Amino acid sequence: ALVQALEPFASDKEALGLANEVMTGVIEVAVQPWKEFVAAAGVSLTGDEKSQLKSLMRGKEVSQFFGDVGDNEMDQQIEEEDDEEEDPDDKASTAFCNQWLDVVGLAVAGRLLERTMRIPRLGRKGAEHLAADLNYIRNVFTALGVAGHPHPLLGYMAKLVTMNEESLQFKIHSRQGEKTPSDALEVIKRAEIRIAYVRGISV
pLDDT tens per residue across span 43-89: 998 888 888 999 999 997 788 888 764 444 544 443 444 445 555 55
Q: Would you give the DSSP letter of residue 67?
A: -
Q: What pLDDT, in 10s, does the model give residues 79-99? A: 444 445 555 556 777 777 788
How many whole angstroms separate alpha carbon 202 and alpha carbon 27? 38
Whether residue 150 has a cis bond before it, omega within 30° of 0: yes
Backbone angles phi, psi at 2, to 5 degrees: -65, -45
How many whole angstroms separate alpha carbon 140 and alpha carbon 95? 19
* Tens digit of each residue's pLDDT, the chain (203 residues): 444 544 555 555 665 555 555 566 778 889 999 999 999 999 998 888 888 999 999 997 788 888 764 444 544 443 444 445 555 556 777 777 788 889 999 999 999 999 999 999 999 999 999 999 999 999 999 998 888 999 999 999 999 999 999 999 999 999 887 776 788 899 999 999 999 999 999 98
How many whole angstroms separate alpha carbon 196 and alpha carbon 149? 26
Q: What is the pTM of this model?
A: 0.81
